Amino acid sequence: VTHLRCGGLILCASIAHCLCDGIGSSQFLNAWADACRDPTSPLLVPPCWGREALKPRNPPRIEFSHGTELAQQEAGSGGAAMAGEPLIHVWVTFEAEEISRLKRRCIPALNCTSFEVLAAHIWRCWARAMFGAEATNGRPKKEGQVVGLFFPADVRGKLDPPLPVGFYGNSLSLASMGRHCGVLLTEQIHQTVKGIQRAKDMALSDAYARSEIDLLALHQPVDNPTSILIVSQWYRLGLERVDFGSGPPVLLSGSTVDHYCLLLPVLGKPKAMAIQVSVRESMADALECYLRELEDAQGDEKPLPDVAV
């Protein structure tokens, strides 16, 4: 905890992901804050451990790839060259109207969510900044490079039987998809969104979650290469409600973690969303430029909100 001269404070928390996920972390922080305000009041959501509900099967059965082929691939030379550079944050706030503009680029039948369309837009911008500097013919220079997108999906209510209310352990299933860079950067955004929806639907199933539990029991996690972006949504965790007695937070942020992107709530604007991407320093300017670009149905480029690095 860092106390500021103005009377505010900065709270930094580090919680092992193998013990609890974002929902569980928010549950803990809110319970801690509630206890600070009124130590005699009961917890609004009593914690439930229940880790035995996520035991691997006997014998384990791995029935899906779970993106292991993406995690084990070699990244292109561009990613390797940037590996020693310092990490910095690229920030952008999307107002509700900007998110709607992105959704309008998708066919109505998709009925896409804000997360799906933002994840698609960010992934495409990130891949373009990392691998897709355009050659003279307009094609990406590294169009054969496979890039991956991972994002967690909460399976608390999807397991059979479902996890109990108040469960705070790690119950996230990791959805994944891959594209050749040339395909990702030339397809329409609604095609990328459709792929994200398929990956999410697959991850939000009991069979997929059980298979992932068995995979983790049999294999050590593989370090993600530079060709994978992980997008995690923090805007529905309830972190903006944490109040230790001096009011809710004025800013939420995560630490810099390579190839991670966080979708954060914008305090006071429930339909807006802040994006925080950790990138290597030499990539930040290009990513900022691409995040600003938005093509409407006629192909005209229009600027997105200001980006701070």
Per DSSP, the residues of 130-146 read HT--B-TTSSBTTTT-E
DSSP state of 167: B
| pLDDT band for position 302 (cuts 50, 70, 90) | very low
Instruction: Give the tokens for residue 139.
Output: 């094609």
CATH number of the domain within which 63 lies: 3.30.559.10
Query: Across all residues in the chain, what is the average pLDDT?
Result: 87
Residue 138's pLDDT is 53
| Residue-number span of the structural domain to which 158 is assigned | 2-308
- Tens digits of residue pLDDT in 238-247: 999 999 998 9
Number of domains in the chain: 1
Beta bridge partners, 151, equal 175
Q: For residue 223, is pLDDT > 80?
A: no
Residue 246's pLDDT is 87
Helix, strand or coil for residue 147?
Answer: strand
Average pLDDT for 286-307: 59
| Cβ-based neighbour number of residue 265 at 10 Å | 21
Residue 213's pLDDT is 95
Average pLDDT for 38-46: 92
Residues 270 and 249 sit within 8 Å (Cβ to Cβ): no
| pLDDT band for position 222 (cuts 50, 70, 90) | low
Residue 70's pLDDT is 86
Cis peptide leading into residue 46 (ω within 30°): no
Average pLDDT for 231-235: 95
Taking alpha carbons only, the member of 295, 306, 254 closest to residue 87 is: 254
